[in-house]
Amino acid sequence: MRHTHQYFLGVTIAASVRYLPRNMMLFLGSILGDFVFYILRIRRKQVFKNLKFAFGNQKSDIELKKIARETYKNLGKTLLEFLQLPRMNGTRIRRIVDTSGLCKIDPILKEGKGAILLGAHFGNWELLGAAFGLGGYPVNVIGRLSDNRRIGNTIDRYRGLVGMKVIQKNDPIRKVLRALNNNELVAILMDQNTRKDMIFADFFGRPAATAKGPAVFALRTGAPVVPTFIVREGKFHKILIGNPIYAHSSEDADNDIQRYTAQFSKVIESYIRQYPDQWFWLHNRWKTRTKHVSSKIEVC
Q: Which residues pair with 239 in a beta bridge?
A: 230
Q: Residues 6 or more apart from 278 whose CB is under 8 A from it?
A: 71, 74, 122, 123, 231, 232, 272
* pLDDT for residue 9 is more than 60: yes
Average pLDDT in the 216-239 region?
98
Specify whether the CB–CB gap between 97 and 238 falls below 8 A.
yes
Q: Assess if residue 285 is contained within a domain.
A: no
Q: Assess if residue 190 is contained within a domain.
A: yes
pLDDT for residue 170: 73
Q: Assess if residue 284 is contained within a domain.
A: no
More confident residue, 171 or 32: 32
Listed residue (197, 213, 222, 191) closest to 287, CA to CA: 191
- pLDDT averaged over every residue in the chain: 92
pLDDT for residue 1: 62
Q: Assess if residue 298 is contained within a domain.
A: no
Q: Residues 6 or more apart from 225 whose CB is under 8 A from it?
A: 115, 116, 118, 214, 218, 244, 245, 246, 247, 260, 264
Domain extent, residue 191, equals 2-278
The three-state (H, E, C) secondary structure of the chain, written as one string? CHHHHHHHHHHHHHHHHHCCCHHHHHHHHHHHHHHHHHHHCCCHHHHHHHHHHHHHHHCCHHHHHHHHHHHHHHHHHHHHHHHCHHHCCHHHHHHHEECHHHHHHHHHHCCCCCEEEEECCECCHHHHHHHHHHCCCCEEEEECCCCCHHHHHHHHHHHHHCCEEEEECCCCHHHHHHHHHCCCEEEEECCCCCCCCEEEEEECCEEEEEECHHHHHHHHHCCCEEEEEEEEECCEEEEEECCCECCCCCCCHHHHHHHHHHHHHHHHHHHHHHCHHHECCCCCCCCCCCCCCCCCCCCC
The pLDDT-based confidence of 243 (bands split at 50, 70, 90) is very high
pLDDT for residue 201: 97
Residues 58-85 have pLDDT tens digits of 999 999 999 999 999 999 999 999 999 9
CA distance 242 to 223: 15
Q: Assess if residue 96 is contained within a domain.
A: yes
Average pLDDT in the 239-251 region?
97
* pLDDT for residue 292 is more than 50: no
Residues 250-288 have pLDDT tens digits of 999 999 999 999 999 999 999 999 999 999 999 999 999
The number of domains in the chain is: 1
CA distance 125 to 226: 15
Average pLDDT in the 1-28 region?
82
Specify whether the CB–CB gap between 190 and 209 falls below 8 A.
no
pLDDT for residue 298: 39
Round the CA-based radius of gyration of the chain to a whole number and report it.
19
pLDDT for residue 15: 81
More confident residue, 239 or 292: 239
* pLDDT for residue 172 is more than 90: no
Q: Assess if residue 296 is contained within a domain.
A: no
The pLDDT-based confidence of 32 (bands split at 50, 70, 90) is very high
**Out of 26-30, 223-227, 286-290, least confident range:** 286-290
Average pLDDT in the 93-112 region?
97
Residues 117-139 have pLDDT tens digits of 999 999 999 999 999 999 999 99
* pLDDT for residue 40 is more than 60: yes
* pLDDT for residue 237 is more than 90: yes
Q: Assess if residue 203 is contained within a domain.
A: yes
Q: Assess if residue 292 is contained within a domain.
A: no
Average pLDDT in the 15-32 region?
95
The pLDDT-based confidence of 2 (bands split at 50, 70, 90) is low
